[in-house]
Each structure stands twice: as C-alpha cells, then as structure tokens.
C-alpha cells in the first residue's frame, strides 16, 4: 500500500511498448498522465508529478496506474476530436502562441505546447519574397506593352518585348517624341507631362494607334535611379503600361453601330407615322415640330395630329407612349390611327379618350400612354378638351396673359376603369394655344412645375407665326440635338381678322320657333344673307336649297329650339341647323313610293361634305358645306 490511499498496481509488462512512445505516436498523452503544472516549482521540471513531502515513487505509481488503465480502455481523446465543437475549441486554443520561455507553464504542458506552436516544420520550402523576383524578366514576358521614360523630355529608358513586337525596336536614351512616335500619335505626351507634374497616375481608355490596334494606357510616376537603365540619370520617370483592348473596342463599335441602325429605324418609323403635312383649318393657323432624343437615346412614342371635323370644327391631338424604341413607335401609330377614326364620329373629347383607353388596353396591357384631345369650334370661341394624364394645355390671350387648362385630368390611357370628363378654356380671336409633351419641360434636376412655369413665361413673350413660336419655345427650354428625350410641340393661333380679311369670315343666325312658316322664313333668310355676301348665283341657289332641306328635316324629326346658322370663310360656305332632338340622321335609300327620306340624300348630293353630331347640352347639329370657287389671280 502506497501512502495517500492509492493502491499500487502491478508493474507494466516490459514486453509491451509504453503509451505515447515513438511506437504509438497516434495515441496522445491523456491529461491525467501528465503532472499538474502547479505541483512543481518553476525551474524544476524534473520534479513534475511529485508532491512535496510524499514518499518516493508516488508519481511513478500514478503513471503506472493510468498506463495500466489505458491498455484496456477506449481512447476518448482521439475520438472526441470528431465530435461537434471540438475542432473549434482546439482552434481557439492554438490561437494563443506559446512563447519559448513560458513553455511548461500554465494549463498546457510543455510537450503539447510545442506541438501547438505556429512554427512551420523544418522541411517546408521557403516562400520567395516579392523583392527577390526578377522584375525585368517579368516585364519582358508579360503580353502588355511596357515602356519606361524619364526626364522632362521623356527619354526612353526601357521597352519590353511586347512593345518591340507591336511597334518595332526603339533606341534607348532618345526623347519620346523621336524614339516613340506612336505615343505622340496617341496624344500621350501631354499626359506624360501631367503625370510628372502631379506625381499621380493617369489612365486613358481605348486609344487607337496608327497600326489600327486599340489600347488602354496607364501612366504611373516612378523614380529612375541613376545607372539602372541606359540614359537614366536619377530623374523622375513614367512607367507606361498599355493593354491591348482591340477586341473589346471592335465589339463596342459593332454594338454602337447596331444601336444607331435600330435608332434610325425607330426614327424613320416614328416620322412615317406622324402626319407628313398638317391639315389647314379655315379659322386656325397651326405649326408643329418633333425632335427625337439625342444619339444615345432611344426614340420614344410622342405624336401629334390635326383633324378637320367639318362644319368649321377642328380636333387637335397630342400624346406620348411610355417607353422607347420601335415598340413604342408602333403603339403610337396604332393609337394615332384610332384617334382619327374616333374623331370622324365627332364625339365629345372625353368619349374619344374613353374609347382610346379600351383600345390601349387591348393593344398592350403593359403599355400606357398620355393623351390630350381638344376640339375648337369657331362659333363658340372656346377650346373643349379632355386629358388622359397629359400635361396641361397653355393658352395665351391677345393681351399676353397665359392660362393653364389643367382640370379635369384623368389617368393615362391603358389603365382602364376610369370615366374621363371634358373641360373648356376660351380661345378667342388673337389667342394662341400650345400642346406639348414632357420632353419640352421635364428636367432631371428640376421640378416639373418649374419647367411648365418657364414655358409659360416663354409663351407670354413669344410673338409671330405659329412656326416662329414653335422654334422659340424649343430654344427657350434648352432643347438641343443631344437632348435626352424626344419632344413634340403643337402651336395653334386663332388670328384676329379686320378689314378686307375680316369680310371673308362672317356669321349669320336665325332662331326658328317651328310651325309651317319656319321653312319659308329660313329660305328667305338664307337668300338675303348669301346675296349680301355676294356669292355667285349657282352657289347662292345651292345654299338656299341646303338651308331649306335641313330646316325641313329638323321640323319633321327634331324638336324646338331650332336655329339656322350660315357661316362663310375664305374657302367654304357652311350651313348648319340645330334642334333639341339627339337622334342623328343617316343617309338611306328611299323607295319610289316613300314620301320622306330624300332630304339627307339631296344634301349629300349637292354639298361637298356633310355630317351630324350631338351637342353638349342635348340635341344635335346637322351641317353641310360648299367649297368656294378659287379666285383667279
């Protein structure tokens, strides 16, 4: 029995190898097999495992005890290394480097601390330092072009093999203007001066050399010690590094050419879909301009149109399809065609937009467009309009005051489910109205209202013909050839006419109460007015006949109140009858035995044009017009 209550175990069999020996290197020493570091004083490693005052042999007895247990037990130390978290804890322990003078101290035994040291094994080959690499050999082998110049005149100190292969051999020590003419052709000599002065690197991208190759060149300031290169004298130098980017440059150029062709196609399509010549109403003077975006901008879907409705009325349209390119232009063309078709129905502006809204959804559910549709009636002196998300129409009166037609405005076309409404704004003789797209007033760094206010100020001071006003508005808003959006502007004027010109535009109206005397009164009124206007006898008789037939049709199929209006312009005579019934007449074939149904047929035969429409307050208007003979010069 050993003192301390520990039973002595049999001695280890000398024929079996001991644990943790070179014969068993894979079995680590267990913590119990090592002496407690607190049991031995510092500087006495030989007393590890001995307790002061204990009989000799106690430490050996402990080791023999544990070694005897380890022969028949599982090595948990080795297996526990595979359990989750063990490897992380082991890595955390190895982060603490054990210094040589402290090995054997602390909680980690000296033997294990030596294995946890970060020192590489003796047989690990050394890693060469960057300073030891052969710089010139590397520069000679890289495929990029490298040249070294120094001094204020940029004398050549070095060119690598790739440079020689690209431009041929170059004399060293000569100024770059003479020895490296390709740098002068690339425009790099001023850049070399700048690099020397600022001591900062500079890069130029995709410069084309005389050989046809393209290079991206970086110039870096360096110090050239004396005697390191031929001609170098310890002056500041510039290292020129040129990477061949010819393939990238050619691909970029092909892409730009393709984009230019696509843009030209879109511009051609866009211009072909716009009106080639504007219709010329009798009472209005109109001009329009379209500017596509700059060369880097795809064409949008801006459009405008002028449609004569008959009876002296004129429809004006402007719109903008969201998006760019051929697709936007194609959608614009479909909407413009639909507007012209719906306008022929002579519907109120809000009903036209209602029909367009449904069509836009059918064309492309993901495409929306803004549109403003306005109708001018010279008899009323107003501009009736409806807007689907478009910018407000601007109207300047004869005194120079500008008004916005900004209410009501509905959502853009293609959204669906919205009931549009019509508004009106005065457009008296002497007034000017402007319809435009967002490219004229919208800027990235400004609020949209500021752009519209600037356009108002420009319109207030703009005078002259509609074309002059168009050009002035475009210039005043800063639209240039490289503008980032396409622009469409439509300007209309209702000129004031006086003197001989005013005699060519006249109106006369007669209120009819109904009864059997209404038709004779209408014929007498029409005859007297046309005689005072000095119309030729043939046109006089046709006008009287048309007034009689329209009044007779209104008496038979309409309801009071009734009105006969005669209007002349410099190009036509217009006869119009209104009544309180909103049923629109249509031309039909009358049978030989029919007593009615021939009035509209007679009107369609004798007149150059005729039509009908519903009036805003209820009722209808039926009109016809006759072209005036052109005056011989």
Reported as a single tens digit per residue, the pLDDT across 389-410 is 999 999 999 988 999 998 889 9
Low-confidence stretches of the chain (pLDDT beneath 50): 1-89, 92-93, 95-117, 231-232, 632-633
Residue 597 sits in a domain of what CATH number? Answer: 3.30.565.10
Domain assignment present for 88:
yes
State whether 480 and 511 are in the same domain: no
Torsion angle in degrees (nearest 10) through CA of 545, 546, 552, 556: 150
DSSP lists the bridge partners of residue 377 as: 382
pLDDT score at 15: 46
Domain assignment present for 533:
yes
Residues near 632 by beta carbon (within 8 Å), at least 6 away in sequence? none
- CB-CB contact of 317 with 307 (8 Å): yes
pLDDT score at 394: 96
State whether 76 and 225 are in the same domain: no
**Residue environment code for 13-24, b if the CB has 16+ CB neighbours within 10 A, otherwise e:** eeeeeebbeeee
- CB-CB contact of 583 with 621 (8 Å): no
Reported as a single tens digit per residue, the pLDDT across 338-348 is 999 999 998 99
Residues near 39 by beta carbon (within 8 Å), at least 6 away in sequence? 47, 48, 49, 50, 51
pLDDT score at 200: 93
State whether 352 and 480 are in the same domain: yes
State whether 143 and 192 are in the same domain: yes
Token look-up 């929306």 returns 368
Token look-up 């995709």 returns 206
Domain assignment present for 9:
no
pLDDT score at 502: 81
Domain assignment present for 335:
yes
Residue 388 sits in a domain of what CATH number? Answer: 3.60.40.10
DSSP lists the bridge partners of residue 155 as: 150, 175
Of all helices (H) and strands (E), which one includes residue 573?
Answer: strand 572-579
Domain boundary among the residues 439, 474, 494 is at 494
State whether 163 and 111 are in the same domain: no
What domain range includes position 582?
501-627
For 570, list phi and psi in degrees, rounded to 5: -75, -5
Length of the chain counted residue by residue: 633
Domain boundary among the residues 450, 471, 494 is at 494
Question: Cα(32)–Cα(105) distance, rounded to whole angstroms?
Answer: 17
Q: Would you give the DSSP letter of residue 156?
A: E
As for how many domains the chain has, the answer is: 4
State whether 461 and 507 are in the same domain: no
Residue 167 sits in a domain of what CATH number? Answer: 3.30.450.20
State whether 520 and 464 are in the same domain: no
5, 32, 40, 363 from 67: Cα distances, Å: 19, 10, 21, 90
Domain boundary among the residues 188, 223, 244 is at 244
pLDDT score at 443: 84
Domain assignment present for 125:
no
- CB-CB contact of 145 with 241 (8 Å): yes
């Amino acid at each position: 029995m050993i003192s301390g209550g520990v039973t002595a175990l049999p001695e280890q069999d000398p024929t079996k190898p001991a644990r943790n020996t070179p014969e068993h290197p894979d079995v680590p020493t267990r913590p119990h097999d090592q002496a407690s570091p607190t049991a031995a004083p510092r500087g006495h490693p030989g007393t590890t495992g001995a307790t002061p005052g204990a009989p000799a042999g106690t430490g050996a007895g402990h080791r023999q005890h544990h070694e005897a247990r380890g022969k028949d037990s599982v090595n948990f130390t080795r297996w526990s290394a595979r359990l989750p978290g063990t490897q992380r804890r082991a890595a955390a322990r190895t982060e603490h480097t054990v210094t040589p003078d402290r090995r054997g101290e602390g909680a980690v035994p000296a033997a294990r601390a030596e294995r946890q040291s970060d020192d590489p094994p003796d047989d690990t080959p050394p890693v060469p330092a960057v300073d030891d690499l052969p710089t010139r050999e590397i520069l000679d082998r890289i495929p990029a072009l490298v040249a070294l110049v120094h001094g204020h005149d940029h004398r050549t100190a070095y060119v690598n093999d790739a440079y020689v292969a690209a431009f041929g051999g170059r004399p060293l020590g000569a100024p770059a203007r003479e020895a490296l003419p390709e740098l002068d052709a690339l425009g790099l000599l001023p850049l070399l001066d700048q690099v020397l002065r600022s001591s900062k690197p500079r890069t130029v991208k995709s410069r084309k050399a005389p050989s046809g190759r393209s290079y991206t060149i970086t110039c870096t300031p360096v110090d050239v010690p004396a005697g390191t290169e031929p001609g170098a004298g310890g002056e500041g130098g510039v290292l020129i590094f040129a990477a061949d980017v010819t393939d990238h440059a050619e691909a970029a150029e092909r892409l730009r050419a393709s984009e230019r062709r696509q843009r030209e196609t879109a511009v051609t399509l866009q211009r072909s879909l716009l009106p080639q010549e504007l219709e010329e109403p009798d009472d209005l003077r109109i001009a329009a301009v379209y500017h596509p975006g700059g060369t880097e901008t795809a064409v949008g879907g801006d459009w405008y149109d002028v449609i004569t409705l008959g009876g002296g009325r004129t429809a004006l349209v402007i719109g903008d399809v969201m998006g760019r390119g051929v697709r936007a232009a194609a959608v614009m063309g479909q909407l413009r065609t639909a507007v012209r078709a719906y306008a022929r129905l002579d519907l109120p502006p809000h009903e036209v937009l209602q029909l367009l809204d449904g069509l836009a959804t059918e064309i492309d559910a993901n495409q929306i467009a803004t549109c403003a549709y306005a109708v001018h009636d010279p008899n009323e002196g107003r501009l009736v309009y409806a807007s689907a998300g478009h910018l407000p129409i601007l109207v300047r009166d004869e005194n120079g005051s500008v008004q916005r037609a900004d209410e009501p405005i509905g959502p853009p076309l293609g959204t669906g489910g919205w009931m549009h409404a019509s508004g009106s704004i005065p457009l008296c003789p002497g007034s000017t109205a402007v319809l435009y797209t967002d490219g004229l007033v919208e800027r990235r760094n400004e609020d949209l209202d500021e752009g519209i206010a600037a356009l108002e100020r420009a319109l207030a001071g703009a005078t002259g013909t509609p074309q002059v006003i168009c050009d002035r508005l475009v210039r005043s808003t800063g639209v240039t050839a490289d503008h980032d959006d396409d622009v469409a502007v439509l300007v209309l004027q209702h000129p004031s006419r006086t003197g001989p010109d005013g005699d060519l535009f006249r109106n006369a109206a007669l209120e009819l109460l109904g009864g059997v005397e209404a038709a004779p009164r209408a014929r007498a009124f029409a005859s007297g007015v046309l005689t005072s206007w000095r119309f030729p006898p043939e046109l006089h008789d046709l006008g009287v006949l048309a007034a009689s037939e329209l009044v007779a049709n209104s008496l038979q199929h309409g309801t009071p109140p009734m009105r006969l209006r005669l209007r002349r312009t410099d190009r036509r005579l217009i006869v119009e009858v209104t009544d309180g019934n909103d049923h629109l007449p249509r031309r039909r074939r009358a049978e030989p035995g029919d007593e009615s149904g021939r009035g509209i047929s007679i009107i369609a035969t004798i007149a150059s044009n005729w039509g009908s429409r519903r009036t805003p307050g209820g009722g209808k208007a039926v009109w016809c017009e006759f072209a005036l003979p052109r005056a011989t010069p």
